[in-house]
């Protein structure tokens, strides 16, 4: 047998190393991994470590200790002290109860609507499919204000609601507390369940259901024994993800719970940090992240990866709608009433309230434009002028548009770069690692993610100064939090750009930068526009993420509405909510009608 001589060639090894170092793909991959690790993994590590560092204000509580010492004080206080019930256990039980109830109701409602719009012969599907997801376009806390406008009583203070103005005394449990929180979050998150389940139903081959019908099965048996088992993974996924999102939501529990001392884990986190108990707040944030990660892990174990949906049916299968028969008209009437109450109702309620000068008087003689364009009057809410002529509102509007504009541009561009790396690195460790890394922010509840960045950038780090109270910190946290969505848009478009086009341009000597700017980016422009619009909408209505990072000088529209509500100046907060909805709706309609982006991809805030 002939032996093969394997000799070591230093020059060849040197050239190979040089080629790898000069490879643009490797360079940008390394840069992306380093930056994202610094912005995602390091803040998480830093926040966990801060829960074990004794702060100066708590030194006196620990004998023979000094600031910065390693200590279990905050965990012991949170888990085992007399304050544990108020700080953790009761808010946690409240959050678990609300999350479980909201998940059951929203998934049930969303799944039923999904089946009607995807698998039945319901008329007007195009209209209904857009209308049923409009509640998700409106920030959940706006629905809370609509609820208070109707059900608020005189016991809490401030102006009364519509029912109280008619002489109907609404009890506290109907105006505030767990019941209204559950109802508001259910009509917000059912759209999320609808999107997940409808996607699974769309992939089913109707021949499977038709075979059951031929065998003599009733519609109920087909639905329960054939359709339901096939889409059960999607239903389970929507249940767990809705549960996780509800656990971390802040706006609705803050509006409808804090005034009656009904706290959830997210509002407790906000309160502790506002009271400068930051280390305790960070410990609560860690628990919230662990709970969210646990349920995401359960979801992955229960249904596997999303690729498993391909087993449900082929794209070439027939999708014949099932006839509703005599139930068609009643179902159409129900959906119209449902849309009128859940979709149109809150907006009409908020809008009407902004034109009523005196609280509790809904007569036409009380109609006024004061809260929109009125001058300062000391007899009305301490002289606050109408929002359209209010310098503070105009400054806040500018802050909001600047934040969403800058964030959308940066996040969309980063999404294209990272999407390029992941799409070209399919099957490589670098691509897989980066894809998992950019998905981490999605797993972390927004208010906990804000706490991460408060922990990380409240003081100077390396070459970066303290960013707390700066516009840069708001942009940074919004960019990183929305990276999963911009990267998803980037991956989907980059996968459609053939590598052969780049290789052909490289032959005559075109540099990587020239190939990317002249070939790759123009062909993936639709993904950039899609990511920009969807992130613009998401950041426009963001409250949970920035509530503990924001300062009065950098207030955004959601924060301003939250402050007005806390001061019982509901007409002003309602007016801001209406304006925000109009901005978001117009952007959605432009997206939908122009076909520049898939409207369903924005479902995440």
Give me the pLDDT at residue 603, please.
45
Residue, of 285 and 597, whose pLDDT is higher: 285
User: Positive or negative, the Cα torsion across 137, 480, 269, 399?
Assistant: negative
Residue, of 430 and 262, whose pLDDT is higher: 262
Q: Which two tokens stand for residue 395?
A: 């400054």
Confidence of residue 529 (pLDDT cuts 50, 70, 90): confident
Over range 261-276, report the average pLDDT.
90
Give me the pLDDT at residue 302, please.
63
Confidence of residue 303 (pLDDT cuts 50, 70, 90): low
pLDDT at 557 over 90: yes
Give me the pLDDT at residue 552, please.
86
Q: 397-406, 557-566, 579-588: which range is least confident on average?
A: 579-588
Residue, of 348 and 22, whose pLDDT is higher: 348
Contacts of 181 (CB under 8 A, 6+ apart): 98, 252, 253, 256, 257, 262
- For residues 449 and 481, the answer to whether their CB atoms sit within 8 Å is yes
Cross-strand partners of 322: 120
- SS3 string, 273-328, reads HHCCCHHHHHHHHHHHHHHHHHHHHHHHHHHCCHHHHHHCCCCCCCCCCECCHHHH
Over range 402-408, report the average pLDDT.
93
- For residues 237 and 196, the answer to whether their CB atoms sit within 8 Å is yes
Instruction: Return d(Cα 355, Cα 346) in angstroms, integer.
Output: 15
| 5, 20, 44 from 11: Cα distances, Å | 17, 14, 43
Give the chain's mean pLDDT: 80
Instruction: Return d(Cα 546, Cα 543) in angstroms, integer.
Output: 6
> pLDDT tens-digit profile of 370-403?
999 988 888 888 888 999 999 999 999 999 999 9
Q: Which two tokens stand for residue 175?
A: 């105006």
Mean pLDDT comparison of 19-33, 84-98, 237-251, 505-519, highest-scoring range: 84-98
Confidence of residue 410 (pLDDT cuts 50, 70, 90): very high
Instruction: Return d(Cα 415, Cα 421) in angstroms, integer.
Output: 10
Confidence of residue 315 (pLDDT cuts 50, 70, 90): very low
User: Positive or negative, the Cα torsion across 213, 218, 224, 227?
Assistant: positive
pLDDT at 531 over 70: yes
Q: Which two tokens stand for residue 378?
A: 């000391």
List b or e across 434-463, with b for residues whose CB sees 16 or more CB atoms inside 10 angstroms.
bbebbebbbebbbbbbbbbbbbbbbeeeee
Q: How many residues does the chain have?
A: 605
DSSP letters spanning 32-45: HHHHHIIIIIHHHH
Residue reference for tokens 């086009």: 501
> pLDDT tens-digit profile of 581-604?
888 888 877 776 765 555 554 443
- The 10 Å Cβ neighbour count of residue 300 is 13
Instruction: Return d(Cα 263, Cα 286) in angstroms, integer.
Output: 18
Give me the pLDDT at residue 313, please.
42
∠ Cα 344 144 113 (to 5°)? 50
How far is residue 319 CA from its own chain's centroid? 32
> pLDDT tens-digit profile of 199-249?
777 766 566 666 666 666 666 666 666 667 777 777 887 888 788 889 888
Over range 314-323, report the average pLDDT.
58
Up-side HSE of residue 342: CA atoms within 13 Å toward CB?
26
Instruction: Return d(Cα 494, Cα 421) in angstroms, integer.
Output: 9
Q: 237-246, 247-256, 494-503, 514-523: which range is least confident on average?
A: 494-503
Confidence of residue 566 (pLDDT cuts 50, 70, 90): confident
Q: 165-179, 364-378, 431-445, 506-520: which range is least confident on average?
A: 506-520
Give me the pLDDT at residue 123, please.
85
- For residues 454 and 548, the answer to whether their CB atoms sit within 8 Å is yes
| 40, 386, 579 from 374: Cα distances, Å | 46, 5, 17
Give me the pLDDT at residue 16, please.
60
Instruction: Return d(Cα 146, Cα 9) in angstroms, integer.
Output: 75
Over range 168-186, report the average pLDDT.
91
Residue reference for tokens 């108990």: 277
pLDDT at 497 over 60: yes
Give me the pLDDT at residue 310, please.
40
Give me the pLDDT at residue 342, please.
84
Treating both helix axes as pointing N-terminal to C-terminal, what angle do 140-151 and 345-353 enclose, rounded to 10 degrees? 60
Contacts of 180 (CB under 8 A, 6+ apart): 144, 147, 151, 174, 256
Residue, of 19 and 536, whose pLDDT is higher: 536
How far is residue 345 CA from its own chain's centroid? 23
User: What is the pTM (predicted TM-score) of this model?
Assistant: 0.80
| 4, 78, 85, 92, 577 from 98: Cα distances, Å | 70, 22, 18, 10, 24
> pLDDT tens-digit profile of 24-80?
667 777 888 888 888 888 888 888 898 898 888 888 888 877 888 888 888 999 999
Domains of the chain with CATH codes: 385-605 (1.10.3720.10)
Q: 89-98, 125-134, 303-312, 495-504: which range is least confident on average?
A: 303-312
Give me the pLDDT at residue 309, please.
37
Give me the pLDDT at residue 265, please.
93
Cross-strand partners of 464: 461
Confidence of residue 102 (pLDDT cuts 50, 70, 90): very high
Q: Is 368 left (phi over 0), alpha (psi -120 to 50) or beta?
A: beta
User: Positive or negative, the Cα torsion across 23, 28, 34, 37?
Assistant: negative
Q: 125-139, 179-193, 499-513, 581-595: which range is least confident on average?
A: 499-513
């Amino acid at each position: 047998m002939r032996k093969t001589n394997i000799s070591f060639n230093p020059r060849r090894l040197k050239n190979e190393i040089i080629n790898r170092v000069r490879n643009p793909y490797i360079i940008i991959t390394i840069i992306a991994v380093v930056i994202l690790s610094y912005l995602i993994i390091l803040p998480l590590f830093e926040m966990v470590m801060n829960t074990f560092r004794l702060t100066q204000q708590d030194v006196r509580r620990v004998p023979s200790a000094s600031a910065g010492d390693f200590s279990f004080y905050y965990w012991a206080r949170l888990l085992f002290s007399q304050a544990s019930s108020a700080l953790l256990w009761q808010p946690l039980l409240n959050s678990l109860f609300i999350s479980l109830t909201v998940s059951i109701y929203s998934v049930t409602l969303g799944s039923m609507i999904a089946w009607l719009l995807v698998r039945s012969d319901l008329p007007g599907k195009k209209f209904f499919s857009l209308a049923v997801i409009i509640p998700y376009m409106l920030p959940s806390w706006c629905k809370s204000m609509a609820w208070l406008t109707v059900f608020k009583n005189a016991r809490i203070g401030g102006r009364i609601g519509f029912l109280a103005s008619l002489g109907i005394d609404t009890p506290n449990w109907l105006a505030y507390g767990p019941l209204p929180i559950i109802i508001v979050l259910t009509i917000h998150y059912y759209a999320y369940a609808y999107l997940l389940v409808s996607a699974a139903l769309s992939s089913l081959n109707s021949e499977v259901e038709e075979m059951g019908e031929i065998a003599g099965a009733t519609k109920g048996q087909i639905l329960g024994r054939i359709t339901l088992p096939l889409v059960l993974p999607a239903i389970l996924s929507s249940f767990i993800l809705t549960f996780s999102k509800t656990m971390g939501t802040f706006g609705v529990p803050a509006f409808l719970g804090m005034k009656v001392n009904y706290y959830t884990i997210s509002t407790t986190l906000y309160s502790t940090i506002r009271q400068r108990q930051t280390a305790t707040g960070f410990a609560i944030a860690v628990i919230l992240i662990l709970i969210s990660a646990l349920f995401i892990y359960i979801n992955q174990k229960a249904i596997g990866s999303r690729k498993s949906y391909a087993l449900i049916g082929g794209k070439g299968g027939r999708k014949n709608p099932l006839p509703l028969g005599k139930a068609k008209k009643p179902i159409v009437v129900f959906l119209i009433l449902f849309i009128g109450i859940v979709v149109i109702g809150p907006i009409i309620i908020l809008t009407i309230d902004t034109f009523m000068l005196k609280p509790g008087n809904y007569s036409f003689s009380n109609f006024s434009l004061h809260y929109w364009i009125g001058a300062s009057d000391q007899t009305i809410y301490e002289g606050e002028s109408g929002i359209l002529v209010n310098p503070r509102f105009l400054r806040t509007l500018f802050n909001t548009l600047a934040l969403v504009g800058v964030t959308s541009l940066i996040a969309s561009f980063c999404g294209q770069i990272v999407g390029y790396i992941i799409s070209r690195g399919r099957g490589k460790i670098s691509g897989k690692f980066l894809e998992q890394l950019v998905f981490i922010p999605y797993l972390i509840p927004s208010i906990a993610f804000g706490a991460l960045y408060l922990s990380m950038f409240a003081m100077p780090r390396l070459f970066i100064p303290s960013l707390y109270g700066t516009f840069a910190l708001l942009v940074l946290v919004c960019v990183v939090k929305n990276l999963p969505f911009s990267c998803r848009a980037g991956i989907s478009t980059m996968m459609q750009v053939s590598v052969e086009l780049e290789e052909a341009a490289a032959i005559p000597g075109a540099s990587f930068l020239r190939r990317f700017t002249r070939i790759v980016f123009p062909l993936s422009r639709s993904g950039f526009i899609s990511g920009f619009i969807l992130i613009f909408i998401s950041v426009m209505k963001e409250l949970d993420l920035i509530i503990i990072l924001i300062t009065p000088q950098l207030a955004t529209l959601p924060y301003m509405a939250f402050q007005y509500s806390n001061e019982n100046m509901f007409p002003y907060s309602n007016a801001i909510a209406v304006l925000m909805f109009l901005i978001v709706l117009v952007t959605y309609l432009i997206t939908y009608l122009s076909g520049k982006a898939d409207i369903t991809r924005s479902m995440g805030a």
